[in-house]
Every structure is written in C-alpha cells, then in structure tokens.
Amino acid sequence: MRKIREVLKLRQERGLSVRAVATACQLGRSTVQEYLQRLEAAGLGWPLPENLTDEELEAQLFPPVFALSSDRVVPDMGHVAQELRRKGVTLMVLWEEYLRNHPQGYGYSRYCDLYRDYASRLDPRMRQSHKAGEKLFVDYAGLTMDVVSRSTGEVRTAQIFVATLGASDYTYAEATWTQNLEDWIGSHVRAFHFFGGTPEVLVPDNLKSGVTTPHRYEPLLNETYAEMARHYGVAIIPARAGRPRDKAKVENHVLNVERRVLAPLRDRIFLSLEEFNLAIKPLMEELNARPFQQLPGSRLSLFEELEKSLLGPLPIEAYEFARWKKARVALDYHVAVDHSFYSVPYTLLKEEVDVRITERIVEVYFRGKRVASHARSLMPRRHNTTKEHMPKAHQRHQEWTPDRIARWARQNGPSTGKVIESIMTNRPHPEQGFRSCLGVMRLGKEFGAGRLEAACVRALSIQSPCYKSIASILQNGLDQSALPDSQSELPMLPPDHQNVRGADYYRMTDPINDRTTSPNFQEKNIRPC
C-alpha cells in the first residue's frame, strides 16, 4: 500500500507523467496505469480520506474475485483433507457428494480453490498427501540417551528408532543399543507388530544397515533388509540422498519424539534398556492420543478409523534375522561359516556362493537358487556333510561303517565274522582296519564265500587272523586241505641233549647296570598281522 500511496501522490499532487511516476517508483508503466484505473473505479479522489487504513484501501482497490455468498454452504475442509487420505478418494468424488447434499453449492473449480486455500494455511508437514496404508517412514532420532549398567556401572548410549505411518501420523518409537543391521531389522519387526499390519512401502533414510549403495535411481539395498521386506510383502523406496523432504513426515515426528518423549526423560537414570523402553511406552501413547491442532481427532483415532483396516496382514511367523555372506567352495566341497564347515554339491567346487545364516539354519545359494541347507552347528571345526553332496566314490566309501562290515562278515560265515572283529579290535581305532576288512571282502568275491569261510577257519586255527594270511591260504589252496589234528597243533619242545644250547647261553649279565643283555641276538622287525 505504501507504493500505491506514493504513486497517487506523484501523479495527483506533482502532476508527473505515467512514465515519470513509473521510473520514480521503480514500477512498470502498466502497473502505474492499473493503480490509477482502480482508484477511479473505486470512486476515490485525492487526497485520500485521513481515516482510511491500508487494509481498507486494499479492500476497495482489490476486491476479492469470488465473494462467498451467504446462501451457499461452505464445505468442511478439515473433513475433506481427512477423506482425501483414503484410497480412491479424489476432490471430484468429494465435490459430487457435497453437491448432492447442497444442490446450490459451489462449482467444482471454486470447490478446488477453497481446498487449496485451506491446505496452504496448514502446517507444512500436513501438506503432503499420503494414502492410508501406503507408506511407513522410518529413521533414527538425532538425540540419544545414556543407560547405566546395573552391575558394572558402565554407561552405554541408546539409539532411538522412530516409525511413522504416512496417512494417520501414528508413530512407534523404541530404544536399541546400536543402529547396526540386527537392531535395525529387529526394530522393523517390532514396529510391524505394534501397528498390527504392514504398509505397501517402506521409506528409510540411506542408513548403511538398510541401503548398501545410495543411488538416485537404483539404490542397492542390504540383502538382509530386502529379504525382510519380501517376508512381509512390502516394497522399499529409500529417500534420495540429501533430500530430507522425501521423508519429511518422519523428520517432523522425530522432533515430536525428542520433545514429547526424550526431553521429559532427560533427567532420569535408566539401569537397563528394558527399563528405558518401559518409560518410553506411556509417553508415546500420550503423544499418539494428543489432539491435532488444525485437524479433527488425533493420531490414534485417525489410525483406528482410517488406516488400521487397510494395512496388509502379518505373516504367520515373524521374520528371523539372518546374516548374508559370500563364500568360496573349498576343494572338500564345504564352505566355512563361523569356524564350522558345511557341505554343498561337489559340482560347485571353487564357485562363489551366498550363505544365509540364522540362529538355527545355514543355507547356501548359488545364482539365487538354494543348493544346501544345514542345521547350524555350535561345535567349532566340525564338518557337517550331506551324503547327496558327495561324489559317488566318496558316498560308497562313507557307507562302510564298522557295524555294516561286521554284518556282512557274519552273513558270510561265523569264522569270517570272527576274523573281521579281530582285525578291527586289534587296531587303536576301528576305521584303521577298514582297508584290511575291505581286502578280505574282495577275496570273498574272487574265491567265493565258501572258500573264504574255510580260509578264515584255518587262519583262526593258526592264530593268524589277518588279510595276508587269508590271502596266502587261498592262493596256495590250503583252505581245501584238511586241518592238522590237535596234537600237531601243540608246539614241539626241543630235545634235552648236551649239544643243544639253551636260552641261557645267549644271555649275559652287565655288572655295571645290573641288567641282562643279548650281544649275540639281533632283534628283527616283525610286523603284526
């Protein structure tokens, strides 16, 4: 209005031309001309009345284009703003409903103008239009809280996770020790169960736990985060880096949580994370029940009336946190996970695979397809091997166990069974006798079961139950000859004669060490059977 008064003064009192007035006031000539025309149309002369205020002058020079008629019902724009958050609801639909109740009401274009004017006067955070059940915004608060350990007195810093639904502003908050992947996933799972359902879209910040590589068009998501989203049937659309308006909803509610929840708790000392979360809960309930300043209802009432029924159903089982890692298949067709080893098909030797690790299960994927699954082993350095993953030769070798070999031997004959049991019993470990046992079994295929049983009878009679003795008996045909009688089996004693030297002849006493030596005797390395 100051410019208008100056224009009128220079034109009416000084008599300057329109061009001179425009130059002096730094306005366009058309603007000066318009001011003069409006003054004439309003019936005002110069000088202006002394009691005419700037507001009154503006009202006379610039009357509103649309005058609200008293016979038309003004629509409830608070109700309109709330209804627009429902899926499928548009201004056209709401205007048609308004017109059915008020046939003499405003036209569609005026109806839209009234709503835009109403929306422009709302708080900026309320201007974004989010459909019910569509988006959940998640982030961490900038403020943190200290928690003191009850036992050690150690002070640890707790992080504050915040999740806000787009349409109702219904908010969930909790404290976790860190912002790492496991806490990040756990907070999402608990938030879904707090809301009682899942949204269509998650909108996180570019936190490393959620977004491995930020990108404007194709951000690379953390594999565990993406798997969690698939489990709950939601999509992830990260906010653009450096674009806080993409998640303005949660940014404002982070401020609300800091002011309404963390600030009242700032002087309290918490001795555990559980105690801290118990203190957060009633303050969050109070925040969600707090009435809106410019809209009817509260976050809680809007959530229950508008958004709760439109959330997706929760799966039967909650998501189980899983770590992913890349591994190279070793030459023994196993991959290493936390100092234990798990088998994969032997055809994947030296291939790079993806390993999914949960508290209970270890799963191996190759090119997106699961190729192995094992119960997670708590024993370090232990090999967990599935038979089907082994080459055929390895499978056959693994099938030979002490029990199976003993069963085969007993089926061939009792003496064969005794020979096999003797071979495995005389070894420090039964598996050390497998080669000898397999050799005996092969003799049975070569010479027949009957001859093998007879050879084993002879080997036991001469107290030589080993592979070499049995092979020698079969090769020389001794199994087909009669066994010697019991007298011949007795060891022959040497004759008692003066020309026969006894054992004492070869023994002498060492007077220094008082021990017996045998200088004339050389030990021979005699291998046992």
Beta 155-165 vs 171-176: how paired, if at all?
A: antiparallel
Q: What is the pLDDT of residue 205?
A: 79
Identity (one letter) of the amino acid at 60?
Q
Whole-number Å distance between alpha carbons of 425 and 529: 12
Whole-number Å distance between alpha carbons of 261 and 173: 9
- Cut 0.85: pTM above it: no
Please work out, in degrees rounded to the nearest 5, the angle formed at the alpha carbon of residue 317 by the alpha carbons of 87 and 375: 145
Beta 235-236 vs 323-328: how paired, if at all?
A: unpaired
Mind listing the pLDDT tens digit of every residue in the chain (529 residues)? 667 777 777 777 677 787 887 787 777 888 878 777 777 777 776 777 777 776 777 777 776 654 444 567 888 888 888 788 776 778 888 888 888 888 888 888 888 888 888 877 665 444 456 778 888 998 888 888 899 888 888 899 999 999 999 888 899 999 999 988 889 989 999 999 999 999 998 888 777 666 665 545 455 677 888 888 889 999 888 876 555 555 555 677 788 888 888 888 888 889 999 999 999 999 999 999 988 877 778 889 889 888 888 899 999 888 888 888 888 988 778 888 888 888 889 888 888 999 888 878 888 999 888 989 888 887 777 888 887 887 776 655 666 667 777 888 888 888 888 888 888 887 766 656 777 887 888 888 888 888 888 989 988 888 888 888 888 888 888 888 887 664 444 444 455 555 556 555 555 544 444 444 444 433 333 334 5
Q: What is the pLDDT of residue 173?
A: 93
> Which of 175, 229, 180, 220 shows the shortest CA–CA distance to 202?
229
Instruction: Tell whether the torsion through CA atoms of 374, 379, 382 and 387 is positive or negative.
Output: negative
Q: What is the pLDDT of residue 37?
A: 79
Identity (one letter) of the amino acid at 124?
P
Whole-number Å distance between alpha carbons of 25 and 436: 115
Decide if 384 contacts 341 (C-beta within 8 A).
yes
> Which of 13, 14, 32 shows the shortest CA–CA distance to 22?
32
Beta 334-337 vs 340-343: how paired, if at all?
A: antiparallel
**Phi, psi torsion values for 114, nearest 5 degrees:** -65, -40
Cross-strand partners of 157: 146
Task: Tell me which DSSP letter residue 502 carries.
Answer: -
Whole-number Å distance between alpha carbons of 406 and 402: 6
- DSSP, collapsed to helix, strand or coil, labels residue 172 as strand
Decide if 350 contacts 234 (C-beta within 8 A).
no
CB-CB neighbours of 216 under 10 Å = 9
Whole-number Å distance between alpha carbons of 109 and 112: 5
Task: Tell me which DSSP letter residue 307 carries.
Answer: I
Decide if 131 contacts 87 (C-beta within 8 A).
yes
Q: What is the pLDDT of residue 150?
A: 82
Question: Residue 154's Cα: distance from chain center in Å?
Answer: 29
Q: Please write down the HEC assignment for all residues of 69-124.
A: CCCCCCCCHHHHHHHCCCCCCCHHHHHHHHHHHCCCCCCHHHHHHHHHHHHHCCCH
> Which of 511, 508, 506 shows the shortest CA–CA distance to 523?
506
Altogether, the residues listed in the chain come to a count of 529
Q: What is the pLDDT of residue 396?
A: 59
Cross-strand partners of 375: 361
Q: Determine the longest span between alpha carbons in the chain, in angstroms.
A: 169
Q: What is the pLDDT of residue 16?
A: 75
- Tell me the CA end-to-end span of the chain in Å, nearest whole number: 120
Beta 352-357 vs 323-328: how paired, if at all?
A: antiparallel
Decide if 138 contacts 171 (C-beta within 8 A).
no
Identity (one letter) of the amino acid at 357?
I
Of all helices (H) and strands (E), which one includes residue 196? Answer: none
